[in-house]
Amino acid sequence: MVTEKNYKEIADDVYDVDSGRVDNPIKKGDLVANKQYQVMTDPVDNLDNGMQAMAVAPIVDGEPDTSQIVIAYAGPHFNRKNSLLNSTCLCYTIR
């Protein structure tokens, strides 16, 4: 079960999808949220509007549990062109 702490960690990590912010952006297969979740798809780093997004699943018994996918996204933000809002991050669980 995804906890509020997990959501916060995932929300913090989604900003590391931004290739303009980090040297080694998060990619499919990476572990996030203190290595408790695996990135399940290629993350989105939209250079036009500043949005970053990723889908992650918790690691249960050493494997990703795809019955508990979490979608996290951040942005858009002012330091990217065509951005309307300042750094908004949301997470949703899909079951």
Assign 3-class secondary structure to 40-71.
Answer: CCCCEECCCCCCEEEEEEEEECCEECHHHEEE
Q: What pLDDT is attached to residue 13?
A: 93
For residue 57, give Cα distances in angstroms to 7, 62, 95.
12, 12, 11
Q: What pLDDT is attached to residue 78?
A: 55
What residues make up the domain containing 17?
A: 4-94
pTM, two decimal places = 0.82
Residues 21-74: tens digit of each pLDDT: 899 999 999 999 999 999 999 999 988 777 889 999 999 999 999 999 999 988
Domains of the chain: total: 1
